[in-house]
Structure 1
Amino acid sequence: MPAADARPLLPLPDALARTAEAVAAYIDGAIAASGAPGERLAAAMRHATLAGGKRLRPFLVVETAALFGVPANRAMPAAAALECIHCYSLVHDDLPAMDDDDLRRGQPTVHRAYDEATAILAGDGLLTLAFEILAREEAGPDAGVRIALVASLARAAGVAGMIGGQMLDLAAEGRFGGGAPLDLPADEIIRLQAMKTGALLRQACEAGALLGGATPDERESLDRYARAVGRAFQIADDLLDVEGEAGTVGKAVGKDAAAGKATLVGKLGVEGARAELACLVAEAESALERFGKAATLLVEAAHFVAERRN
């Protein structure tokens, strides 16, 4: 059973900020200790990771682990490793060969602030740093748990998860062979997005459950929550691309339709997508019922994901 949560319950914005600050400090220290030669590569890695962001994925690691009495400092290596993976994926996703974006979090993307070669290497550096962090004893005294964390993150980030989802996304745009964008049915769009976006969000909750020694039933409840949040996150992101303003969102908008991307907003329409969002938030809440008040911040995070403006 989950441990009683004796921590003071912070408002969600404060809790997110607390985790964001701790994760940034941890990653900054890890980059400093990484042995990157010269300053340019380390600076590009810092540009990719320390330029703000919601830090939702590490927040989910910390808060899921907290359900089982695991303090934030013990969850921090797993949280930071996941954020390194997420940030590496953004660096590569922004490259001209992928989405060709100039802005990320309101600042120049890494290949614009530096150059394409440095951006590729900075992304590679963050990818490998993530697994170095998880291999260290500070990631957990139990070697079996550390191995499980490495396997979990590799699976979520790899060809059966984020990378595979990105490949499906590019194929749906008609990027290979000069074809036209594909008119995917809704179930295939959901599968694509569950891999590209949802896999890392699910891994965040899986990591917290692994650190906390959750039972199979508890892990299944948390996975239901994470799957719902992952789908909600992508729908909200697609709505921002349709309705948002670049200055608020922090990156270019209106690119999905121009690129022929397969999205549920395109398939369901704005109102249909908003109705789906409401259903997904309800599903996330239902999945956490067994954890009671200890899961308050996780419930609030599901609403935050659906209502975000950047």
Structure 2
Amino acid sequence: MVTMLAAIYVTYFAFASLSFNVAQQQQSLQYVDGYRSSCKFHQGGNFNLILSAPHGGSLMPTDVPDRTQGGCRRPGSSCTWIYNDACLDGRRCATTTVQDTLSGEFAENVAEELNSKYGLKPFVVIGKWHRKKVDFNREINEATLNHPEAISAHQSYHMSLEHAINQIQQQYGKGLLIDVHGQGVGNFTMVGYLLDSDLLNRDDLQTTLGTTTSIEQICSLSNRTECIRGQTSFGTIMEKNELGIAYPSMAHPKPGNGTFFQGGYITRNYISKINAIQTELPYDMRAGSYKLLNSKRYVRALIDYMTVNNLLKT
């Protein structure tokens, strides 16, 4: 363990010694718009990290109906999601449409810091349409209410993710997908590995082996308790980089009985190909007075995490 943690400082020394020259050479990352500006992406990555931010968008195309009406559950059936379904013979299924304020900007700041200071260009996919129009972090029926324009937007986002994942698989063999979100529950970060709060509240996470995490490639190298909330876990490394409280971590191993977001569609959908983590960031971290400083700290946490878990490849 000491050897693994020491690798962080060796890597930092190497990156820091290059950072001045790199800063002189790098140009800002260039983004390309997806379908009808529903999302934007940077596909010219030069290392094995993807940043995704699906819920920060604010564009409201008027020809795409709002998802606020929800779906329809008829007796004896599950919810169906059709934008023009009057649902006169059923009950409405609720949708979530709240925006994760400035989560996309935070992801961009993280990407730019990686690029400008370290010469590391991540793959990036960021939602631009408001969540009322399409939810990039839901399966396509609930995400779009089966409206054709919303379907095309959803496909554009996920085609960009899939392209980035395929590039990483071909060039590096393994990588990390970070899905950036925002939450208003409290002033702490929820680190989602697809383990719910009931599982995380257990004393021994080895008892959760029946549930697949979103970082099985990483967890296979150590005890699950260490992987999820030990010294090499992302929550612990975030806290060591002055990013406030994170659940789960060594200092804060159990989220308790409050709301905990374990990871959504994006985190779950791609784990057969890549390690994935959902981070639910508090408002002050992503949008407060120190948001730029926090993005720099987040970058250091990412480099630490990928280094100590033998994941960083360029």
Greater share of residues in strand: 2
Greater share of residues in helix: 1
**Structure number with bigger Rg:** 2
TM-score, normalising length from structure 1? 0.31
Higher relative contact order (CA 8 A, sep 6+): 2
